């Protein structure tokens, strides 16, 4: 057996520095294609409550591309009292021929970027191309990332209204986007939704954020926060009013918004992206569209592989001996 094997380590700052939005978008789009074609596999999800938080494992692989790996991630709210992120994620890539680990990556920035990129791809496929007004629930890491990517892929967006859990202004959030759009707090949940072309929900999923009646014809919704059994962001009856897409049907039924309305007719977004058709192809202009996002292991792995390649090309990261 070889005795010179090494394990590549990428810490938080190294991983974040290597993440380029265009490359992340390309990697996430590829992950959707692999999922739709069946070339990529996602393995059964682990998602369990612990005394201090929630722990999960998403894993999968693409054997034809020598890609195999997992992300161990979850949410530990107690971290916030120390000024640390409650969300924690670690990604590991393996050699599928031997099972040996190849790369260990801090997964927080990867999770944020790949989720926002998936949301952006949903916007490109399902939102009206003339959309100008966006409403976002949540101004945390995910909310900010989704607004960033939305502004990148839909240059026609002119106005952003945001809502926080406590109703207060978020000056830091406003400052981040002040040079790119008209940004201000929303004047109440229903009013902000009714005045928007796009609605993004990126909260902790404690309950319905607005009323279904507030959603106007032609609106698109990206729903991010429901990623565990018992979480929800949408009001009862919302899915019945919308044309709904998911990233993975089984996951959406288990941990997404679909857990609350399992009989809802849905399609997987990967099939739509693989068809490479114009935005809202075959969808009536006044139809409400919705993307229920639970996150694919293939998204994490495709982005992680991109980071591994960039790290090796640029000499980034730490190599440690990992002998057999």
pLDDT tens, residue by residue, 263-284: 999 999 999 999 999 889 899 9
Q: How far is CA 60 from CA 67, 212, 232, 314, in A?
A: 8, 36, 26, 27
Q: In 51-126, which ranges are continuous DSSP H helix? A: 108-126
pTM reported for the whole predicted model? 0.95
Name 232's Cβ contacts closer than 8 Å, sequence gap at least 6.
205, 207, 208, 226, 257, 259, 260
% helix, strand, coil for the chain, step of 5: 35, 25, 35
Residue tagged 């009292």 (tokens): 81
Q: What architecture is domain 6-110+298-321?
A: 2-Layer Sandwich (3.30)
Distance CA 291, CA 286 (A): 16
Name 47's Cβ contacts closer than 8 Å, sequence gap at least 6.
54, 55, 56, 228, 229, 254, 255
205 token code pair: 């999923």
In the DSSP assignment, the letter for residue 181 is: S
Q: What is the pLDDT of residue 324?
A: 84
Distance CA 220, CA 252 (A): 18
Q: Which fold has domain 112-295?
A: Rossmann fold (3.40.50)
Distance CA 317, CA 50 (A): 32
Q: What is the pLDDT of residue 95?
A: 95
Strand intervals (E) in the chain: 6-10, 41-42, 46-50, 53-62, 67-75, 87-94, 101-106, 133-137, 159-163, 182-185, 198-201, 220-223, 242-246, 266-268, 288-292, 318-321
Q: What is the pLDDT of residue 1?
A: 56
- Mapping DSSP to helix (H, G, I), strand (E, B) and coil, where does residue 41 land? strand
pLDDT by residue, tens only, the chain of 324 residues: 566 789 999 999 999 999 999 999 999 999 999 999 999 999 999 999 999 999 999 999 999 999 999 999 999 989 989 988 888 999 999 999 999 999 999 999 999 999 999 999 999 999 999 999 999 999 999 999 999 999 999 999 999 999 999 999 999 999 999 999 999 999 999 999 999 999 999 998 999 999 999 999 999 999 999 999 999 999 999 999 999 999 999 999 999 999 999 999 999 999 999 999 988 989 999 999 999 999 999 999 999 999 999 999 999 999 999 988
Q: Enumerate the domain spans of the chain.
A: 6-110+298-321, 112-295
Name 262's Cβ contacts closer than 8 Å, sequence gap at least 6.
253
Q: What is the pLDDT of residue 2?
A: 62
Residue tagged 């890491």 (tokens): 141
Name 274's Cβ contacts closer than 8 Å, sequence gap at least 6.
32, 33, 36, 37
Contact of 35 with 251, CB cutoff 8 Å = no
């Amino acid at each position: 057996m070889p005795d010179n094997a090494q394990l590549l380590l990428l810490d938080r700052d190294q991983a974040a520095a290597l993440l380029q939005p265009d490359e992340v978008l390309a990697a996430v789009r590829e992950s959707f294609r692999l999922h739709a074609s069946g070339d990529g596999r996602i393995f059964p999800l682990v998602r369990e409550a612990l005394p201090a938080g929630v722990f999960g494992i998403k894993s999968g692989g693409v054997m034809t591309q020598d890609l195999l790996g997992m992300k161990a991630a979850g949410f530990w709210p107690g971290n916030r009292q120390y000024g640390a992120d409650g969300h924690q994620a670690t990604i590991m890539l393996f050699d599928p021929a031997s099972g040996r680990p190849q790369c260990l990556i801090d997964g927080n920035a990867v999770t944020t970027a790949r989720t926002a990129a998936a949301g952006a791809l949903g916007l490109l496929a399902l939102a009206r191309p003339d959309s100008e007004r966006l409403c976002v629930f949540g101004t945390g890491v995910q909310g900010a990332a989704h607004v960033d990517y939305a502004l990148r892929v839909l240059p026609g967006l002119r106005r952003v209204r945001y809502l926080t859990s406590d109703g207060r202004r978020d000056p830091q959030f406003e400052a981040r986007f002040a040079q790119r759009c008209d940004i201000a707090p929303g004047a109440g949940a229903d009013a902000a939704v009714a005045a928007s072309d796009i609605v993004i929900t990126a909260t902790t999923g404690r309950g319905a954020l607005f009323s279904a009646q507030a959603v106007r014809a032609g609106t698109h919704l990206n729903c991010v926060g429901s990623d565990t059994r018992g979480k929800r962001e949408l009001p009862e009856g919302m899915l019945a009013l919308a044309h709904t897409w998911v990233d993975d049907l089984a996951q959406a039924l288990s941990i997404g918004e679909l857990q609350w309305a399992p009989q809802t007719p849905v399609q997987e977004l990967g099939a739509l992206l693989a068809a490479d058709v114009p935005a809202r192809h075959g969808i009536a202009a006044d139809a409400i569209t919705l993307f229920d996002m639970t996150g694919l292991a293939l998204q994490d792995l495709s982005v992680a592989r991109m980071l591994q390649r960039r790290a090796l090309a640029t000499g980034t990261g730490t190599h440690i001996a990992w002998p057999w």
